[in-house]
Amino acid sequence: MKYTEEHEWLRPEGDSVVVGITRHAAEQLGDVVFVELPEPGTTISKDDEVAVIESVKAASDILAPMDGEIVEVNEAIVEEPGKVNDDPEGEAWFFRMKPADMSALDDFMDEAAYREFIG
């Protein structure tokens, strides 16, 4: 997996990338009460606001980690936002995208670098 400075994780699977938020981000947010996801088929550019997550503490935008197209979203976290707190780096993924350029993954942190980043 790769990690962004915005506390998102990216897991390559074939020609797509699954995106979610890190355990650290979920812990900082507190109890998640609402998730809004993009529509499949949406073309996105790096740093576009593509999803919204609200917790008892704050609302945050999830930014597109790279250019591409949303190919699938995780409706389970829309129906049960608390799943984000339970399993943020597993079953509570946000969306799957087809990147315009898979090599863009090289620009992100590996797990060791992310651990150092969050201190």
Residue 111: per-residue pLDDT: 96
Residue 42: per-residue pLDDT: 97
List of domains in the chain = 2-101 (2.40.50.100)
Please tell me the distance from the alpha carbon of residue 26 to that of residue 11, in angstroms, as a whole number: 17
Return the exposure string of 80-111: e unless at least 16 CB atoms fall within 10 Å of the residue's CB, then b: ebebbbeebbeebbbbbbebeeeebbeebbee
Task: Note the Cα 101 to chain centre separation in Å.
Answer: 18
48 phi, psi to nearest 5 deg: -65, 145
Smallest Cα–Cα separation from 9: which of 100, 113, 119, 79? 113
Residue 62: per-residue pLDDT: 94
Residuewise pLDDT in 10s, the chain (119 residues): 999 999 999 999 999 999 999 999 999 999 999 999 999 999 999 999 999 999 999 899 999 999 999 999 999 999 999 999 999 999 999 999 999 999 999 999 999 999 999 99
Residue 76: per-residue pLDDT: 97
Residue 14: per-residue pLDDT: 96
Please tell me the distance from the alpha carbon of residue 106 to that of residue 1, in angstroms, as a whole number: 11
